[in-house]
A = this chain, B = another copy of it.
Amino acid sequence: MTESLHKYINSFIQLSKEEIEVIEEISVCKKIKKNELIAENGKVCRKVLFAGEGYFRFFHIDSRGNEITSDFYFAPSFITSYTSFITGVPSFVNVQAMHDMDVLEFSKEDLYDLYDKYPKFERVGRLIAEKVAINSEEHLFLLLNQTAQTRYQRLLEQNPQYVNTIPLQYIASYLGITQETLSRMRKSIK
């Protein structure tokens, strides 16, 4: 598991032996159950997880009581309710694990300590924030510019290993359409 984390961090910055040890020290292994919420609407999220495999779903309940899936995060990645973690405001999204899985957990305090003590980790923090920003920007761009059908096909192409296991209703709200429309769309693609 820590193996997977190093590989991930190494994909954007080189860490020394010491730095690897330091981050290992503050990480806590956890087992997460399918459907478990790692961040919850109304609660402040004070931790970040690192997942080496599997994926997470971001969702909330809209004014009419429907669950709306706003995002999927595919491993390897850090996962948190980003806005809540950063600002300390209660999360408006729920973040849900879609599988049983092993993760590494980091507390906000430990992470901010790291930022203070090691400029290198401050940089890691910046790079990850930039990654999140770029990801959201792309998601936004796709939502505004591509039809639901194009976005669905893109999701299929980019995450073939997962997409066919995601319940249709989740994908539909992620695409901003109803389940029925997605079902019909799918049929017409074949």
- Chain A residues within CB distance 8 Å of chain B: 60, 62, 68, 70-71, 82-83, 86-87, 92-93, 115, 119, 122-123, 125-126, 129-130, 132-134, 136-141, 143-145, 173-174, 176
Contact = CB atoms under 8 A, between A and B. Distances in A.
Contact of A140 (B71, B123, B145, B173): B71
B139 A70 contact: no
A122 to B, nearest CB: 5
Nearest to A147: B63
Contact of A123 (B68, B122, B136, B173): B122
Given A126-B122, A144-B70, A145-B70, A137 B82 contact: yes
A135 B167 CA distance: 29
Contacts of A115: 123, 126
A134 B83 contact: yes
B86 A134 contact: yes
Contacts of A136: 133, 136-137, 139-140
